[in-house]
Amino acid sequence: MPTLRRFASPIAMPYASAPRKFLIGLALYARQIELSIDRTHGDWQGLRQFYKPRPQPDDLAVLLLQAEARNRSRWNLLQTFMANRPVPERDRWMMARLLFDFSAILRGYEPATDDLYCLRYCLSQTTSIFYRRLGMRRRLEKLDLHHFNRTGHLPAGKEINTIVGDDWLRL
């Protein structure tokens, strides 16, 4: 049975930058997970069904780590002065670890309450770092994002593909 690890080890390594659209989509995906976990109320089967047609978190974690490895040499001084500052590698590794942890839940692991609180809190903090580094914190935080067990009297939220575009997974 898969286990849920509480913390990823922060590894201080050089900066690099994956494609901006991918990082925005990934940050929104992490926010969607956070909102979905909050509204799960023990309905793990429903959560698994909700994420079945969506990109799988372990695939996104691998894409994130591969994109960073490919783009490491492309960082230049001009990008330093642009709005999209690079996300530190320790935060990218943390995001990947959290995505792997959520993937364990989708594969059948039912976490303890403390693990769930920790996962949700860490997702919130890491997503906030991504938002700030992408220079879009206020805009992204205010988006009405579609998530699991959304209250019925609210209009349907926006899907990630609608916000970022269908090609956000193409690196």
Q: Report pLDDT digits (tens) over 10-50.
A: 333 333 456 778 888 898 899 889 988 888 888 889 889 98
| pTM for the model | 0.78
Residue 102's nearest CA partner among 59, 165, 160 is: 59
CA angle in degrees (0–180, nearest 5) for 83-88-91: 115
Collect the ranges in the chain with pLDDT lower than 70.
Answer: 1-18, 68-86, 137-143, 146, 149-156, 171
For residue 41, count CB atoms less than 10 angstroms from its CB and return exposed for 0-12, middle for 13-18, buried for 19 or more. Answer: exposed
